[in-house]
């Protein structure tokens, strides 16, 4: 289990996360939703080691991650797919994917085995291996970004806005890829501005507000919550209106934010 306990973290102007406590069950797909500025992407950054918490701890199956830095966190099996612009456009798809196995570079047999496995899971890696990544559509780039992370055979996959800028067909492909990775044993923690899509993929849902968890529930229950539905699933609440979710005030989310 991935456990975040009492985490305070920010970017210099104050803490975005305000004593965050969050438990991500092993084998689950957990989706974080919430208003703009709630700290959703910041959660992923502190888990992956991109941002060091000011206070608090992050543990994976009892091992502290918050003291390791990015390389140490990756070595423990936690890999992050950034929000966007994560590929090297002038490099081939094969080269981009192989970069994900950089830590395996001394074991060519294992590196090639992982690449073959990822190519089977994500056909575009094999079909267009020599094409430049800059020639791909948004959905195809997202597929390759996930493929690169899967090269390390992560136990935990962090996804930041996987639907960002994708057309409906690409959304379907990326969603299925996330489900397939989870079915193969990978725990997934994702941040998703498209709440309906994110919760439809997830087994668990978390509403974040003001850098703290305000509501946790199985994803289906969260989608059925009237206040959550009104705010995020097509209700008609105005941007200035607030709703109560388990005793916590949630402002309407008007865009992607940290």
**Digit-coded pLDDT (tens) for 163-180:** 888 888 888 888 998 999
Percentage of the chain lying above the pLDDT 90 cut: 56
Task: Please report how many Cα atoms fall inside a 13 Å half-sphere around the Cα of residue 225, on the Cβ side.
Answer: 23
In whole angstroms, what is the distance from residue 147 CA to residue 162 CA? 13
Residue in 198, 156, 151, 152 with CA at minimum distance from that of residue 174: 198
Report residue 167 CA to chain centroid gap.
19
Quick check: 40 pLDDT over 50? yes
Average pLDDT of span 21-40: 93
Quick check: 247 pLDDT over 60? no
Average pLDDT of span 75-99: 90
Contact residues for 226 (Cβ-Cβ < 8 A; gap 6+): none
pTM of the model: 0.84
Task: Please report how many Cα atoms fall inside a 13 Å half-sphere around the Cα of residue 9, on the Cβ side.
Answer: 27
In whole angstroms, what is the distance from residue 207 CA to residue 108 CA? 43
Percentage of the chain lying above the pLDDT 70 cut: 90
* CA-to-CA dists, residue 79 to 49, 89, 174, 240, 254, angstroms: 10, 21, 17, 37, 28
For position 256, what pLDDT does the model report?
39
Rg of the chain over CA atoms, in angstroms?
18
In whole angstroms, what is the distance from residue 155 CA to residue 80 CA? 11
Q: Residue ranges per domain, the chain?
A: 2-81+156-251
CATH code of 2-81+156-251, in short, is 3.40.50.300
């Amino acid at each position: 289990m991935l456990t975040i306990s009492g985490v305070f973290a920010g970017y210099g102007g104050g803490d975005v996360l305000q004593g965050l406590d969050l438990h991500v069950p092993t084998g689950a797909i957990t989706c974080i939703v919430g208003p703009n500025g709630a700290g959703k992407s910041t959660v992923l950054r502190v888990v992956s080691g991109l941002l060091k918490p000011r206070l608090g701890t992050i543990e994976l199956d009892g091992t502290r991650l918050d003291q390791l830095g990015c390389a140490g966190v990756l070595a423990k099996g936690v890999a992050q797919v950034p929000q966007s612009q994560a590929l090297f456009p002038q490099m081939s798809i094969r080269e981009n994917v192989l970069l994900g196995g950089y830590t395996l570079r001394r074991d060519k047999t294992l590196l090639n085995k992982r690449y073959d496995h990822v190519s089977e899971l994500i056909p575009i890696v094999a079909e267009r291996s020599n094409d430049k990544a800059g020639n791909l559509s948004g959905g195809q780039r997202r597929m390759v970004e996930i493929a690169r992370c899967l090269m390390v055979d992560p136990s935990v996959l962090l996804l930041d806005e996987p639907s960002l800028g994708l057309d409906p067909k690409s959304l379907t492909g990326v969603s299925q890829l996330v489900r397939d990775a989870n079915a193969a044993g990978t725990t997934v923690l994702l941040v998703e501005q498209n709440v309906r899509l994110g919760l439809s993929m997830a087994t668990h849902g978390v509403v974040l507000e003001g850098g703290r968890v305000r509501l946790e529930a199985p994803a289906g229950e969260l989608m059925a919550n009237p206040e959550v539905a009104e705010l995020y699933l097509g209700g008609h609440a105005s941007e200035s209106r607030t709703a109560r979710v388990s005793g916590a005030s949630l402002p309407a989310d008007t865009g992607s934010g940290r």
